[in-house]
Amino acid sequence: MTSDQIILFTLFGAVFGMLLWGRFRYDLVAFTALLIGVVLGVVPTKDAFSGFGHPATIIVALVLVVSAGLVRSGAVYLITRTLVDSTRSLGAHIAIMGGIGGVLSAFMNNVAALALLMPVDVQTARKAGRAASLSLMPLSFATILGGMVTLIGTPPNIIIAAIRQESLGAPFKMFDFAPVGAVTAVAGLLFVALVGWRLIPQKDGPDAGQALENVTDYIAELTVPDDSKHIGKRVNDLYDIAEKNDVAILGLIRDGKRRYGTARNIKIAAGDALVLEAAPEALDEFRAALSLNFANDKHEDLLKADGAGLSVIEVVVTDQSRINGKTAQTVGLSWRQRTVLMGISRQGKAIRTNLRKTQIRAGDILLLLTPEDNTAEVTDWLGCLPLADRGLAVTADTKVWLAIGLFGGAVALASFGLIYLPIALGLVVVAYVLAKIVPLSELYHHIEWPVVVLLGSMIPLGAALEASGGTELIAGWLVGLTAGMAPWMILTVLMVVTMTLSDVLNNTATTIVAAPVGIQMAQTLNVSPDPFLMAVAVAASCAFLTPIGHKNNTLILGPGGYRFGDYWRMGLPLEVLVVAVSIPAILVFWPL
């Protein structure tokens, strides 16, 4: 071994030891290791920060913004309403979401499949009152497993097909991976749904997928627009939708008069206001589901007069507040500040008048809808105290199909090789900003910067290991180790070593190194190289032990609130299962 190889292997060992220890945050550990590598001369100075411009890092950042856009547009709510039920057991939810993720990732990039489903899973976890960490890791693993089924599902398959064309004269076709990939994926999904999720460490407190704090539900009003498809229905016809969205319908206001008891049997008319009790997120989801308005047409027009986006804020009324002892109507909240009072939280006390005509008291919490970038001015004008930002947002439900179409078109173009995936995702982000699906002011808030630093730091270290001959050293050791073994044992060793490399390095780099080694082994044994290439394809994709082995694992690191050492608990038995299932499948479908 050369001195550079010794230093790099030592650095990698130290990094993984520190990350498993968990005393220091993963981004600090990785960045420190990168700087030490540069100082010791094993990472060229000119390449020190190349990882921050690497496609893997860019994809992770862009996917997080795209996911936020899908939430803001209502696309996530659409999927949640049609496919996901928060009342299901956790195992059933994981099985359904994993199945959907597996199918999607077979026909689109598995990173994009996770980008679409991750916010759905987080929303469902919130509604079910459980930690998102219990289902995000199974979802990530399911999308990784599904990607093995087709040529376009995961980058290792594309690379394997290209290497086969260079070495043997013909590439693998679209569904050549399906027999082995499907069998392995189904076995893995069953494990994840039935057993795997039980191995995930329980979190003591709320994670990043849950609200930062629980605030009392608001009494709120939403108006029925003139073109609503719900006109003519009775109020109680909406009860099932309301219950599914965690909203209670308390009554109805017509012509300024609030109706209680008999309101459930009243037929809904244009201009009616439904009186609701709900948390802010549930209120917005219910509004998007039924295409209701925040206020009457006059106030809605005032809100959107300058074409800017809308923001939701929560403020606490004090004794000195301008609105204390007055109503939103008397202080001119709508026409002076172009702000709508969406809801009032009053320590569990009932509110029996129209919201705009309700006298506000000190201690009330107000839910306000205000033009974007005007929130501070409104808060100061009212003399109220702002609550900590909980990430509340207004769903742009009129743009749901635009958001889905842009995302779907970009994924389709990237999947068929017509446009590079990072460029496709970048164009989606630009389009989301221009269409005001994602406000420009929030663009960078949705990126998990510690994850970006982790990837940006580890990629140059992995490249240095490859450039120093460290990966070739491993390949040579592997060829010598398997000399004289039975073919199925050689396949097993190849898969185990490839999986281990993929857990440490980028799976693309692992495939490039391991595939030629597999072909060399086949030629030494004088057998077909196809089963060896299939073994590399499966093993390179199945990186479940660490958050850096696959971009999907990295994506869920922040939203799931995971630690570096959480992955192996479910990932290790899953990798053992993958080897145990795929080796016989390879020998059946791709005989030696």
Angle at which helices 449-467 and 3-21 cross, to 10°: 150
- Does 63 reside within a domain? yes
Give the C-alpha separation, 375 to 75, whole Å. Answer: 26
- Does 334 reside within a domain? yes
Boundary-marking domain end, from 262, 293, 324: 293
* CATH at residue 285: 3.30.70.1450
Boundary-marking domain end, from 231, 266, 293: 293
Question: Are residue 155 and residue 14 in the same domain, yes or no?
Answer: yes
Question: Are residue 168 and residue 97 in the same domain, yes or no?
Answer: yes
Count of domains observed in the chain? 3
- Does 445 reside within a domain? no
- Does 254 reside within a domain? yes
**How many other CB atoms are there within 10 angstroms of residue 351's CB atom?**
20
Among residues 55, 391, 342, 61, the alpha carbon closest in space to that of 209 is found at 391
Q: What is the per-residue DSSP string for 499-524? A: HHHHHHS-HHHHHHHHHHHHHHHHHH
Angle at which helices 133-146 and 567-589 cross, to 10°: 20
Q: Tell me, what's the pLDDT at 477?
A: 80
Give the C-alpha separation, 508 to 503, whole Å. Answer: 11
Question: Are residue 224 and residue 352 in the same domain, yes or no?
Answer: no
Phi-psi region of 370 (alpha: psi -120 to 50; beta: other; left: phi over 0): beta
Question: Are residue 168 and residue 32 in the same domain, yes or no?
Answer: yes
Question: Are residue 53 and residue 190 in the same domain, yes or no?
Answer: yes
Boundary-marking domain end, from 293, 318, 341: 293
Residues 6+ apart with CB under 8 A from 23: none
Question: For residue 564, what are its two tokens?
Answer: 């570096």
Q: Tell me, what's the pLDDT at 208?
A: 40
- Does 56 reside within a domain? yes
Q: Tell me, what's the pLDDT at 577?
A: 96
Question: Are residue 575 and residue 492 in the same domain, yes or no?
Answer: yes
Q: Tell me, what's the pLDDT at 175?
A: 83
pLDDT per position in the chain (592 positions), as tens?
Answer: 889 989 988 998 888 788 667 678 778 988 999 999 999 999 999 999 988 988 777 877 887 788 778 777 877 667 666 666 767 888 889 999 899 888 888 876 677 778 778 877 887 887 788 888 889 999 999 999 998 988 777 778 877 887 888 778 888 887 889 999 999 999 999 999 999 888 988 765 444 444 334 445 788 888 888 888 999 998 888 888 887 777 888 888 887 777 755 567 888 998 888 888 887 777 877 888 888 887 665 655 555 555 556 778 888 888 888 999 999 888 888 888 888 888 888 765 667 667 778 889 888 888 888 887 778 888 889 988 887 565 566 666 678 889 889 988 887 887 777 888 789 889 999 999 998 888 887 788 778 788 788 878 888 887 888 788 886 777 678 778 877 788 888 899 999 988 988 887 667 767 777 887 888 788 877 888 899 999 999 998 898 988 877 878 888 887 888 888 889 999 999 999 999 999 999 999 998 8
Strand ranges (DSSP E) for 90-241?
Answer: 218-223
Among residues 131, 178, 116, the alpha carbon closest in space to that of 153 is found at 178
Three-state SS annotation for 228-287? CCCCCCEHHHHHHHHHHCCCEEEEEEECCEEECHHHHHCECCCCCEEEEEECHHHHHHHH
Order of strands, sheet of 273-278, starting from the edge strand that comes earlier in the sequence: 257-259, 248-254, 273-278, 218-223, 340-345, 365-371, 310-316, 385-386
Question: Are residue 549 and residue 483 in the same domain, yes or no?
Answer: yes
At residue 391's C-alpha, the angle toward residues 389 and 397, to 5°, is 140
- Does 414 reside within a domain? no
Judging by DSSP bridges, how do beta strands 273-278 and 340-345 pair with one another? unpaired
Angle at which helices 110-128 and 400-415 cross, to 10°: 150
Question: For residue 226, what are its two tokens?
Answer: 């003139």
Q: Which residue has the tokens 């965690």?
A: 246
- Strand pairing partners for 278? 218
Question: For residue 306, what are its two tokens?
Answer: 């300058």
- Does 361 reside within a domain? yes
Q: What is the per-residue DSSP string for 122-180? A: HHHHHHHTS-THHHHHHHHHHHHHHGGGSTTSSHHHHHHHHHHHHHHSS---TTTTHHH
Question: Are residue 218 and residue 316 in the same domain, yes or no?
Answer: no
Question: For residue 555, what are its two tokens?
Answer: 């994506």
Residues 6+ apart with CB under 8 A from 395: 71, 72, 73, 74, 77, 284, 285, 287, 288
Give the C-alpha separation, 49 to 57, whole Å. Answer: 11
Residue 530 · residue 127 · CB < 8 Å? no
Q: Tell me, what's the pLDDT at 258?
A: 73
Number of H helices, E strands in the chain: 23, 8
Phi-psi region of 194 (alpha: psi -120 to 50; beta: other; left: phi over 0): alpha
Among residues 112, 135, 28, the alpha carbon closest in space to that of 449 is found at 28
Q: Tell me, what's the pLDDT at 273?
A: 86
Question: Are residue 97 and residue 161 in the same domain, yes or no?
Answer: yes
Q: Tell me, what's the pLDDT at 389?
A: 62
Residue 57 · residue 456 · CB < 8 Å? yes
Map residue 361 onto helix, strand or coil: coil
Among residues 186, 218, 397, the alpha carbon closest in space to that of 290 is found at 397
Question: Are residue 378 and residue 456 in the same domain, yes or no?
Answer: no
Question: Are residue 168 and residue 278 in the same domain, yes or no?
Answer: no
- Does 442 reside within a domain? no
Judging by DSSP bridges, how do beta strands 365-371 and 385-386 pair with one another? unpaired
User: Domain containing 271: what range?
Assistant: 213-293
Question: For residue 100, what are its two tokens?
Answer: 């959907």
Residue 16 · residue 454 · CB < 8 Å? no
Q: Tell me, what's the pLDDT at 579?
A: 95
Residue 140 · residue 114 · CB < 8 Å? yes
End-to-end C-alpha distance for the chain, whole angstroms: 34
Question: Are residue 102 and residue 133 in the same domain, yes or no?
Answer: yes
Q: Tell me, what's the pLDDT at 248?
A: 84
Q: Tell me, what's the pLDDT at 261?
A: 55
